[in-house]
């Protein structure tokens, strides 16, 4: 059967825009495929948003797409078609600072970029396949991925998306029918592939690789591509590359503020895990807070607590500083000192942008009306109230998510073993809230701001263990809860709390 017959004309057309623009930063590479591919989970809403018919994705041609079996034009291969001599799909190279130390070459060690497409809303988006087999950047890995981490990334992405936080998302998880090397222990795990959707996969580490290895011409092409794809308004600025830095910094300030407000801990904020678009990416050893703890670390490899919950805003600025260093040859090539001064000024804008985003988000969580033109004194009062609250939550070991939802319902005081400190804080909140229509509207909005459901760590871990054994029902139940995060439903009440064992919960690299 000819390949074209398996790909309806109505389906999106895949391109390799990134490879066409900056050919030095990726190589053509064919995914290994899956011996016994079986669709484990499909994000039907996202499929429709991209322009794919969910039922078509369940066909052999759809599975060929979701396992990276594409011809030279980016269309699914039929079962008896040979792989193209020059693959359509690509593996990307990048570098990065990992736990603060530079690594000159990283990259898609077990992933390929299927391509990019224009979705039904007119946005260009990447389709990226993880667990696709070894690539030239695989180092010592086997290129395979276990089922559990692929489902974890899908659940975390859908939760963050439902909370309104910019994020990559999973389109599908396909079981490969293989047993792969375990992340820990000796028992092999079922293999899987995750098809991930992103605005792009341009990272700070991508710019580091170009700056460290390829010189100003490639660096300029990369920066131009990033401007055109993510921050086109920067093109009209007096210094487009300085404006690229400014806009990327503002996007990261907004992103990390939202992480902090919902109690999300990324876990490994290396520069190769920070996008230029402002989306969260690479959800490996990540978790949500149960008890509020500024020093909370859930990654088994973060022994020093570099990426602890409370460190995330500062780490984002550190990463952005590395990004700025790569752009200096473009910002002011003939006057390096002037470039450093200009970039430093831009980076100094990160903290105010973060604090304003966090303060406005905290006001919404507390039900305090805050006008767009609120003066500095009111912003400072709200920020101080929020910061004092977090100290109080930590001192009395109060669950982060449960507190804000209880505050929404007027029952937060019952959570405190020593209510006097809370009552004093609450009086200050009431003074700032005031009364009248604006206060009433802000109070009503709390129910659409403070979630009932997040992916609770122990519940998700137990669900992934069941999925390992072939039972996906618990994962599906958690997905139902976290994709409707503000709805309290009796049948999902067991997922509202942290469960047993959260104090010692750890996650392991594997995505």
Domain boundaries, the chain: 3-198, 204-353, 457-495
Q: Say if CB 245 and CB 323 are below 8 A apart.
A: yes
Work out the burial of residue 194: count CB atoms within 10 Å of its CB; fewer than 13 is exposed, 13-18 middle, 19 or more buried.
buried
Average pLDDT rounded to a whole number, residues 113-133: 97
Q: What is the dihedral of CA 45, 51, 57, 59, to 10 degrees?
A: 140
Q: What is the mean pLDDT of the chain?
A: 95
Please state, in angstroms and as integers, the Cα–Cα distance from residue 7 to each residue in 1, 118, 361, 386, following that order.
Answer: 12, 17, 45, 53
Nearest alpha carbon to residue 505 among 300, 355, 334, 354: 300
pLDDT of residue 1: 35
272 included as an active-site residue: yes
Q: Say if CB 146 and CB 192 are below 8 A apart.
A: yes
pLDDT of residue 504: 67
The residue annotated as part of the active site, out of 108, 272, 291, 399, is 272
Give the predicted TM-score (pTM) of the model. 0.96
Rounded to the nearest angstrom, the gap between the alpha carbon of residue 437 and the centroid of all alpha carbons in its chain is 36
- Give SS3 for 32: coil
pLDDT of residue 183: 72
Tens digits of residue pLDDT in 180-194: 988 777 789 999 999
189-198 sheet: strands from edge to edge? 26-28, 90-92, 111-118, 124-130, 189-198, 169-180, 38-42
The pLDDT-based confidence of 511 (bands split at 50, 70, 90) is very low
Q: Say if CB 148 and CB 464 are below 8 A apart.
A: yes
Q: Which residues fall within 8 angstroms of residue 40, CB to CB, at 6 or more apart?
A: 147, 151, 172, 173, 174, 175, 192, 467, 472
58-62, 76-80, 359-363, 385-389, range with the lowest pLDDT:
76-80
Rounded Cα distance between 197 and 116, Å, is 9
Rounded Cα distance between 329 and 348, Å, is 20
């Amino acid at each position: 059967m000819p390949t074209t017959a398996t790909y309806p004309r109505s389906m999106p057309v895949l391109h390799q825009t990134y490879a066409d623009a900056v050919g030095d930063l990726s190589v053509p590479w064919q995914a290994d495929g899956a011996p016994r591919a079986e669709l484990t989970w499909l994000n039907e809403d996202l499929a429709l948003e991209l322009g794919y018919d969910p039922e078509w994705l369940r066909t052999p041609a759809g599975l060929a797409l979701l396992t990276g079996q594409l011809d030279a034009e980016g269309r699914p291969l039929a079962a008896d078609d040979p792989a193209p001599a020059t693959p359509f799909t690509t593996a990307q190279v990048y570098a990065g600072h990992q736990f603060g130390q530079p690594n000159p070459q990283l990259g898609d060690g077990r992933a390929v970029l299927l391509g990019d497409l224009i979705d039904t809303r007119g946005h260009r988006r990447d389709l990226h396949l993880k667990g696709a087999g070894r690539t030239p950047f695989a180092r010592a890995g086997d290129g395979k991925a276990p089922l559990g981490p692929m489902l974890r990334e899908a659940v975390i992405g859908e939760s963050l998306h439902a909370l309104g936080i910019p994020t990559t998302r999973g389109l599908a998880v396909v079981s490969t029918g293989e047993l792969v090397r375990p992340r820990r222990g000796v028992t092999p795990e079922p293999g899987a592939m995750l098809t991930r959707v992103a605005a792009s996969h341009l990272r700070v580490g991508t710019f580091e690789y170009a700056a460290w290895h390829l010189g100003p011409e490639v660096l300029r092409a990369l920066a131009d591509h990033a401007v055109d794809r993510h921050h086109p308004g920067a093109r009209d600025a007096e210094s487009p590359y300085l404006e690229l830095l400014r806009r990327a910094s503002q996007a990261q300030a907004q992103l990390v503020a939202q992480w902090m407000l919902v109690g999300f801990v990324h876990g490994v904020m290396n520069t190769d895990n920070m996008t230029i678009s402002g989306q969260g990416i690479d959800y490996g050893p990540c978790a949500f807070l149960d008890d509020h703890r500024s020093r909370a670390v859930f990654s088994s490899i973060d022994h020093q607590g570099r990426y602890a919950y409370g460190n995330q805003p500062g780490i984002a600025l550190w990463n952005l500083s590395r990004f700025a260093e790569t752009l200096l040859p473009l910002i002011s090539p003939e006057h390096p000192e002037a470039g450093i001064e200009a970039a430093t000024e831009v980076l100094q804008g990160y903290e105010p942008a973060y604090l304003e985003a966090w303060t406005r988000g905290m006001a919404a969580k507390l039900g305090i009306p805050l006008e767009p033109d609120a003066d500095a004194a009111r912003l400072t009062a709200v920020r101080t109230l929020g910061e004092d609250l977090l100290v109080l939550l930590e001192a009395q070991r109060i669950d982060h998510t449960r507190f804000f939802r209880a505050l929404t319902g007027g029952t937060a005081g019952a959570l405190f073993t020593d209510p006097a400190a809370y009552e004093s804080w609450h009086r200050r909140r009431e003074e700032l809230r005031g009364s009248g229509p604006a206060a009433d509207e802000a109070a009503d909005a709390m129910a659409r701001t403070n979630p009932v459901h997040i992916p609770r760590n122990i519940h998700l871990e137990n669900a992934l263990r069941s999925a390992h054994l072939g039972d996906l029902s618990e994962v599906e139940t958690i997905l139902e809860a976290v994709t409707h995060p503000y709805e309290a439903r009796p049948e999902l009440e067991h997922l509202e709390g942290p469960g047993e064992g959260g104090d010692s919960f750890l996650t392991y690299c594997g995505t």
